[in-house]
Protein backbone atom coordinates (compact mmCIF):
# COMPACT_ATOMS: atom_id res chain seq x y z
CA UNK A 1 0.00 0.00 0.00
CA UNK A 2 1.02 3.61 -0.45
CA UNK A 3 1.39 5.45 2.87
CA UNK A 4 -1.96 7.21 2.31
CA UNK A 5 -3.72 3.90 1.65
CA UNK A 6 -2.04 2.30 4.67
CA UNK A 7 -3.07 5.20 6.90
CA UNK A 8 -6.70 4.85 5.79
CA UNK A 9 -6.70 1.07 6.32
CA UNK A 10 -5.15 1.43 9.76
CA UNK A 11 -7.55 4.19 10.78
CA UNK A 12 -10.49 2.00 9.81
CA UNK A 13 -9.00 -0.95 11.70
CA UNK A 14 -8.42 0.97 14.94
CA UNK A 15 -11.83 2.66 14.80
CA UNK A 16 -13.44 -0.77 14.47
CA UNK A 17 -11.59 -1.86 17.61
CA UNK A 18 -12.48 1.34 19.52
CA UNK A 19 -8.88 2.51 19.63
CA UNK A 20 -7.65 6.13 19.53
CA UNK A 21 -6.84 7.56 16.09
CA UNK A 22 -3.17 8.18 16.95
CA UNK A 23 -2.57 4.42 16.88
CA UNK A 24 -2.71 4.54 13.06
CA UNK A 25 0.13 7.07 12.94
CA UNK A 26 2.21 4.96 15.34
CA UNK A 27 1.96 1.90 13.14
CA UNK A 28 2.37 3.84 9.91
CA UNK A 29 5.72 5.19 11.07
CA UNK A 30 6.98 1.67 11.70
CA UNK A 31 6.05 0.45 8.21
CA UNK A 32 8.56 2.55 6.28
CA UNK A 33 10.00 5.67 7.94
CA UNK A 34 11.28 3.87 11.05
CA UNK A 35 10.53 0.28 10.12
CA UNK A 36 10.13 -2.73 12.35
CA UNK A 37 10.55 -6.25 11.07
CA UNK A 38 7.06 -7.27 12.22
CA UNK A 39 4.06 -6.05 14.18
CA UNK A 40 5.40 -7.97 17.18
CA UNK A 41 8.38 -5.58 17.31
CA UNK A 42 6.26 -2.40 17.37
CA UNK A 43 6.69 -1.93 21.11
CA UNK A 44 4.72 1.35 21.27
CA UNK A 45 1.56 -0.67 20.52
CA UNK A 46 -0.05 -2.83 23.26
CA UNK A 47 0.65 -6.53 22.74
CA UNK A 48 -3.00 -7.46 22.25
CA UNK A 49 -3.32 -4.88 19.46
CA UNK A 50 -0.13 -6.12 17.84
CA UNK A 51 -1.62 -9.61 17.72
CA UNK A 52 -4.83 -8.23 16.21
CA UNK A 53 -2.85 -6.36 13.57
CA UNK A 54 -0.97 -9.53 12.71
CA UNK A 55 -4.21 -11.42 12.24
CA UNK A 56 -5.53 -8.88 9.71
CA UNK A 57 -2.46 -7.47 7.94
CA UNK A 58 0.88 -8.72 6.70
CA UNK A 59 4.21 -6.90 6.70
CA UNK A 60 6.21 -8.99 4.23
CA UNK A 61 10.01 -9.11 4.18
CA UNK A 62 12.70 -9.86 1.66
CA UNK A 63 14.90 -12.75 2.80
CA UNK A 64 18.62 -11.99 2.62
CA UNK A 65 20.30 -15.00 1.03
CA UNK A 66 23.75 -13.48 0.72
CA UNK A 67 25.58 -10.20 1.26
CA UNK A 68 28.95 -9.60 -0.36
CA UNK A 69 31.17 -6.70 0.71
CA UNK A 70 33.83 -5.22 -1.54
CA UNK A 71 37.07 -3.71 -0.30
CA UNK A 72 35.82 -0.36 -1.70
CA UNK A 73 32.75 -0.47 0.58
CA UNK A 74 30.26 -1.61 -2.06
CA UNK A 75 27.80 -4.20 -0.75
CA UNK A 76 25.71 -6.53 -2.89
CA UNK A 77 22.59 -8.21 -1.52
CA UNK A 78 20.86 -11.27 -2.93
CA UNK A 79 17.25 -11.36 -1.73
CA UNK A 80 14.84 -14.29 -2.00
CA UNK A 81 11.18 -13.46 -2.68
CA UNK A 82 8.22 -15.34 -1.14
CA UNK A 83 7.79 -17.50 -4.26
CA UNK A 84 11.44 -18.52 -4.35
CA UNK A 85 12.56 -16.04 -7.02
CA UNK A 86 15.62 -13.93 -6.27
CA UNK A 87 16.72 -10.36 -6.95
CA UNK A 88 19.76 -8.19 -6.29
CA UNK A 89 20.45 -4.79 -4.78
CA UNK A 90 23.79 -2.99 -4.64
CA UNK A 91 24.68 -0.35 -2.03
CA UNK A 92 27.39 2.06 -3.19
CA UNK A 93 28.95 4.54 -0.71
CA UNK A 94 30.42 7.78 -2.03
CA UNK A 95 31.31 10.38 0.60
CA UNK A 96 28.07 11.34 2.36
CA UNK A 97 25.97 9.62 -0.28
CA UNK A 98 24.73 6.06 -0.13
CA UNK A 99 23.21 5.01 -3.43
CA UNK A 100 21.12 1.85 -3.60
CA UNK A 101 20.77 0.26 -7.01
CA UNK A 102 17.47 -1.64 -6.95
CA UNK A 103 15.72 -4.23 -9.13
CA UNK A 104 12.25 -3.91 -10.64
CA UNK A 105 11.86 -7.37 -12.18
CA UNK A 106 13.05 -10.89 -11.42
CA UNK A 107 15.23 -11.39 -14.46
CA UNK A 108 14.83 -9.41 -17.66
CA UNK A 109 13.27 -10.08 -21.04
CA UNK A 110 15.34 -7.61 -23.04
CA UNK A 111 18.44 -9.77 -23.66
CA UNK A 112 20.94 -6.92 -24.01
CA UNK A 113 24.10 -8.58 -25.32
CA UNK A 114 26.45 -7.37 -22.57
CA UNK A 115 24.22 -7.80 -19.50
CA UNK A 116 24.37 -10.78 -17.13
CA UNK A 117 20.71 -10.30 -16.19
CA UNK A 118 19.71 -11.01 -19.79
CA UNK A 119 21.35 -14.45 -19.49
CA UNK A 120 18.88 -15.59 -16.84
CA UNK A 121 15.67 -14.90 -18.75
CA UNK A 122 12.57 -13.26 -17.36
CA UNK A 123 10.46 -14.61 -14.49
CA UNK A 124 8.05 -11.91 -13.35
CA UNK A 125 7.49 -8.32 -12.34
CA UNK A 126 8.22 -7.32 -8.78
CA UNK A 127 5.33 -6.09 -6.71
CA UNK A 128 5.50 -2.56 -5.33
CA UNK A 129 6.49 -3.72 -1.83
CA UNK A 130 9.26 -5.91 -3.27
CA UNK A 131 10.72 -2.88 -5.08
CA UNK A 132 10.49 -0.39 -2.21
CA UNK A 133 11.28 -3.18 0.27
CA UNK A 134 14.87 -3.26 -0.98
CA UNK A 135 15.35 0.18 0.57
CA UNK A 136 13.36 -0.83 3.65
CA UNK A 137 15.69 -3.77 4.25
CA UNK A 138 18.64 -1.36 4.47
CA UNK A 139 16.92 0.35 7.40
CA UNK A 140 16.42 -2.99 9.10
CA UNK A 141 20.13 -3.83 9.05
CA UNK A 142 22.08 -3.74 12.31
CA UNK A 143 23.32 -1.04 12.23
CA UNK A 144 20.83 0.53 9.83
CA UNK A 145 22.04 1.88 6.50
CA UNK A 146 20.77 5.33 5.47
CA UNK A 147 20.07 5.37 1.73
CA UNK A 148 20.30 8.87 0.25
CA UNK A 149 19.88 8.01 -3.43
CA UNK A 150 17.94 5.31 -5.27
CA UNK A 151 18.59 4.22 -8.85
CA UNK A 152 16.42 1.78 -10.80
CA UNK A 153 19.46 0.24 -12.48
CA UNK A 154 19.33 -3.29 -11.10
CA UNK A 155 17.64 -6.31 -12.62
CA UNK A 156 14.83 -5.67 -15.08
CA UNK A 157 13.34 -2.84 -17.13
CA UNK A 158 11.33 -0.62 -14.74
CA UNK A 159 9.13 0.92 -17.42
CA UNK A 160 7.89 -2.54 -18.38
CA UNK A 161 6.56 -2.86 -14.83
CA UNK A 162 5.02 0.58 -14.65
CA UNK A 163 1.99 -0.25 -12.47
CA UNK A 164 4.19 -1.44 -9.60
CA UNK A 165 7.05 1.00 -10.20
CA UNK A 166 4.56 3.87 -10.13
CA UNK A 167 3.35 2.81 -6.67
CA UNK A 168 6.91 2.10 -5.49
CA UNK A 169 8.00 5.61 -6.49
CA UNK A 170 5.28 7.02 -4.22
CA UNK A 171 6.41 4.83 -1.31
CA UNK A 172 10.04 5.76 -1.85
CA UNK A 173 9.37 9.49 -2.02
CA UNK A 174 6.49 10.06 0.41
CA UNK A 175 7.62 11.65 3.73
CA UNK A 176 5.44 9.05 5.49
CA UNK A 177 7.10 6.36 3.39
CA UNK A 178 10.84 6.11 2.87
CA UNK A 179 11.22 9.86 2.35
CA UNK A 180 13.87 9.85 -0.39
CA UNK A 181 13.85 13.13 -2.31
CA UNK A 182 12.48 12.88 -5.85
CA UNK A 183 15.64 14.41 -7.32
CA UNK A 184 17.59 11.62 -5.63
CA UNK A 185 15.56 8.89 -7.38
CA UNK A 186 16.56 7.92 -10.93
CA UNK A 187 14.59 5.63 -13.21
CA UNK A 188 16.77 4.02 -15.87
CA UNK A 189 15.22 2.65 -19.06
CA UNK A 190 16.32 1.31 -22.41
CA UNK A 191 13.81 3.73 -23.90
CA UNK A 192 10.31 2.32 -23.35
CA UNK A 193 8.45 5.29 -24.80
CA UNK A 194 5.03 4.97 -23.10
CA UNK A 195 6.78 4.66 -19.74
CA UNK A 196 8.84 7.80 -20.34
CA UNK A 197 5.60 9.69 -21.05
CA UNK A 198 4.01 8.28 -17.89
CA UNK A 199 7.02 9.22 -15.76
CA UNK A 200 6.99 12.75 -17.19
CA UNK A 201 3.36 13.16 -16.11
CA UNK A 202 4.21 12.69 -12.45
CA UNK A 203 4.52 15.96 -10.58
CA UNK A 204 7.62 14.92 -8.64
CA UNK A 205 11.05 15.73 -10.08
CA UNK A 206 12.16 12.13 -10.57
CA UNK A 207 15.25 11.75 -12.74
CA UNK A 208 15.40 9.83 -16.02
CA UNK A 209 18.39 7.90 -17.35
CA UNK A 210 18.32 6.28 -20.78
CA UNK A 211 20.54 3.33 -21.64
CA UNK A 212 21.89 4.34 -25.05
CA UNK A 213 25.03 2.15 -25.36
CA UNK A 214 25.29 2.73 -29.13
CA UNK A 215 24.90 5.92 -31.18
CA UNK A 216 23.40 4.32 -34.31
CA UNK A 217 20.36 2.12 -34.94
CA UNK A 218 22.35 -0.66 -36.60
CA UNK A 219 24.79 -1.07 -33.73
CA UNK A 220 22.12 -0.57 -31.09
CA UNK A 221 19.97 -3.32 -32.64
CA UNK A 222 22.92 -5.70 -32.39
CA UNK A 223 23.49 -4.89 -28.73
CA UNK A 224 19.89 -4.22 -27.63
CA UNK A 225 17.09 -6.07 -29.47
CA UNK A 226 14.51 -3.64 -28.00
CA UNK A 227 15.78 -1.05 -30.50
CA UNK A 228 13.60 -2.76 -33.13
CA UNK A 229 10.47 -1.77 -31.19
CA UNK A 230 11.77 1.58 -29.93
CA UNK A 231 14.26 2.95 -32.49
CA UNK A 232 16.97 5.34 -31.40
CA UNK A 233 15.40 8.33 -33.18
CA UNK A 234 12.16 7.84 -31.23
CA UNK A 235 14.07 7.48 -27.97
CA UNK A 236 15.94 10.73 -28.61
CA UNK A 237 12.67 12.48 -29.45
CA UNK A 238 11.20 11.30 -26.12
CA UNK A 239 14.30 12.51 -24.28
CA UNK A 240 13.94 15.94 -25.91
CA UNK A 241 10.34 16.10 -24.70
CA UNK A 242 11.12 15.12 -21.10
CA UNK A 243 10.82 18.28 -18.99
CA UNK A 244 13.81 17.47 -16.78
CA UNK A 245 17.43 16.83 -17.56
CA UNK A 246 18.16 13.40 -18.98
CA UNK A 247 21.25 11.25 -18.48
CA UNK A 248 22.58 8.96 -21.18
CA UNK A 249 24.07 5.72 -19.85
CA UNK A 250 26.77 4.34 -22.14
CA UNK A 251 28.67 1.16 -21.27
CA UNK A 252 32.12 1.13 -22.88
CA UNK A 253 32.69 -2.04 -24.94
CA UNK A 254 36.21 -2.47 -26.27
CA UNK A 255 36.34 -2.36 -30.07
CA UNK A 256 32.55 -2.21 -30.34
CA UNK A 257 31.25 1.26 -29.45
CA UNK A 258 34.33 3.20 -28.31
CA UNK A 259 35.81 4.72 -31.48
CA UNK A 260 36.21 8.42 -32.23
CA UNK A 261 33.37 8.19 -34.75
CA UNK A 262 31.10 6.72 -32.06
CA UNK A 263 32.03 9.58 -29.71
CA UNK A 264 31.11 12.21 -32.30
CA UNK A 265 27.83 10.45 -33.09
CA UNK A 266 26.96 10.19 -29.40
CA UNK A 267 27.85 13.84 -28.87
CA UNK A 268 25.38 14.85 -31.56
CA UNK A 269 22.59 12.85 -29.92
CA UNK A 270 23.38 14.27 -26.47
CA UNK A 271 23.37 17.85 -27.75
CA UNK A 272 19.97 17.33 -29.38
CA UNK A 273 18.35 16.85 -25.97
CA UNK A 274 20.92 18.57 -23.70
CA UNK A 275 21.74 15.23 -22.09
CA UNK A 276 24.49 14.48 -19.61
CA UNK A 277 26.55 11.42 -20.60
CA UNK A 278 27.63 8.85 -18.03
CA UNK A 279 30.32 6.49 -19.39
CA UNK A 280 30.29 3.11 -17.65
CA UNK A 281 33.30 0.78 -17.55
CA UNK A 282 32.25 -2.79 -18.32
CA UNK A 283 32.26 -4.98 -15.21
CA UNK A 284 34.11 -8.18 -16.20
CA UNK A 285 31.63 -10.30 -14.25
CA UNK A 286 28.85 -9.38 -16.65
CA UNK A 287 30.89 -9.10 -19.82
CA UNK A 288 29.35 -12.08 -21.70
CA UNK A 289 32.16 -12.19 -24.27
CA UNK A 290 32.85 -8.44 -24.44
CA UNK A 291 36.04 -6.77 -23.25
CA UNK A 292 36.64 -3.56 -21.33
CA UNK A 293 37.46 -0.51 -23.41
CA UNK A 294 40.94 0.98 -23.10
CA UNK A 295 39.81 4.21 -24.72
CA UNK A 296 37.39 5.54 -22.12
CA UNK A 297 39.44 8.62 -21.18
CA UNK A 298 39.95 9.57 -24.82
CA UNK A 299 36.27 8.97 -25.56
CA UNK A 300 35.30 11.25 -22.66
CA UNK A 301 37.67 13.95 -23.88
CA UNK A 302 36.15 13.79 -27.36
CA UNK A 303 32.68 14.28 -25.90
CA UNK A 304 33.89 17.24 -23.84
CA UNK A 305 35.57 18.79 -26.86
CA UNK A 306 32.24 18.52 -28.66
CA UNK A 307 30.54 20.49 -25.89
CA UNK A 308 28.89 17.62 -24.00
CA UNK A 309 29.00 17.23 -20.21
CA UNK A 310 30.37 13.81 -19.37
CA UNK A 311 31.43 11.75 -16.38
CA UNK A 312 33.17 8.39 -16.17
CA UNK A 313 31.58 6.17 -13.57
CA UNK A 314 34.16 4.80 -11.18
CA UNK A 315 34.34 1.01 -11.25
CA UNK A 316 32.97 -0.40 -8.01
CA UNK A 317 32.76 -3.86 -6.52
CA UNK A 318 35.36 -5.33 -8.87
CA UNK A 319 36.31 -7.97 -6.28
CA UNK A 320 32.72 -9.19 -5.79
CA UNK A 321 29.90 -10.33 -8.10
CA UNK A 322 28.67 -6.76 -8.55
CA UNK A 323 27.74 -6.87 -12.23
CA UNK A 324 23.98 -6.67 -12.73
CA UNK A 325 22.56 -10.19 -12.38
CA UNK A 326 25.94 -11.82 -11.81
CA UNK A 327 25.38 -13.00 -8.24
CA UNK A 328 21.88 -14.26 -9.06
CA UNK A 329 23.18 -16.31 -12.02
CA UNK A 330 26.17 -17.63 -10.05
CA UNK A 331 24.09 -18.79 -7.11
CA UNK A 332 20.80 -19.84 -8.67
CA UNK A 333 21.51 -20.35 -12.36
CA UNK A 334 19.57 -19.08 -15.36
CA UNK A 335 16.69 -20.13 -17.54
CA UNK A 336 16.05 -19.89 -21.25
CA UNK A 337 15.52 -16.22 -22.18
CA UNK A 338 11.90 -15.35 -22.89
CA UNK A 339 10.83 -12.65 -25.31
CA UNK A 340 9.02 -9.65 -23.85
CA UNK A 341 5.87 -10.20 -25.89
CA UNK A 342 5.66 -13.83 -24.76
CA UNK A 343 5.10 -13.00 -21.10
CA UNK A 344 1.78 -11.64 -19.89
CA UNK A 345 3.24 -10.06 -16.77
CA UNK A 346 4.96 -7.26 -18.70
CA UNK A 347 3.06 -4.02 -18.05
CA UNK A 348 3.75 -1.06 -20.29
CA UNK A 349 2.09 2.21 -19.33
* Blockwise average pLDDT, block size 10, the chain, 349 residues: 97 96 96 96 94 95 94 93 95 94 93 79 93 98 96 95 97 98 96 95 96 95 92 93 93 95 97 95 76 94 96 75 54 50 49
The verdict on residue 349 lying in a domain is no
pLDDT of residue 166: 98
Task: Looking at the structure, tell me whether residues 26 and 148 fall in a common domain.
Answer: no
Looking at the structure, tell me whether residues 127 and 241 fall in a common domain: yes
**C-alpha angle with apex 259: 250 to 190, nearest 5 degrees?**
20
Same domain, 72 and 133: yes
| C-beta of residue 198 within 8 angstroms of C-beta of residue 166 | yes
Q: Residue 343: its pLDDT value, please?
A: 43
Report yes or no: 152 and 117 within 8 Å, Cβ to Cβ: no
Q: Do both 226 and 247 map to the same domain?
A: yes
How far apart are alpha carbons 121 and 105 in whole angstroms?
A: 11
Question: Helix, strand, or coil here: 174?
Answer: coil
Backbone angles phi, psi at 6, to 5 degrees: -65, -40
Do both 38 and 121 map to the same domain? no
Range of the domain at 89: 63-342
CATH number of the domain to which 329 belongs: 3.20.20.70
Q: What is the pLDDT of residue 91?
A: 96
- How many domains does the chain divide into? 2
Residue 103 lies in a domain: yes
Give φ, ψ of 269 to 5 degrees: -65, -45
Q: In this structure, are residues 279 and 296 in contact, taking their beta carbons and an 8 Å threshold?
A: yes
- Rounded to 5 degrees, φ, ψ at 133 are -65, -20
Query: What is the set of active-site residues?
Result: 88, 324
> 68 and 51, same structural domain?
no
Amino acid sequence: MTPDAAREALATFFARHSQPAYRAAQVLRHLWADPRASFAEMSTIPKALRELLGSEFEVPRLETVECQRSKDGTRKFLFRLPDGEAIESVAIPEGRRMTLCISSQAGCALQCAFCATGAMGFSRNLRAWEIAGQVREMRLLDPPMTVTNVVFMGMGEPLMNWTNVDTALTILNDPNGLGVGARHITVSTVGVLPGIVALAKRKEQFRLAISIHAPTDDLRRDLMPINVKYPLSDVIKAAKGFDRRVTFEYVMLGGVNDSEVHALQLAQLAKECRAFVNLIPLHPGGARGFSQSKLTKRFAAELQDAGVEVAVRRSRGMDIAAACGQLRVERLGGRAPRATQDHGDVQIA
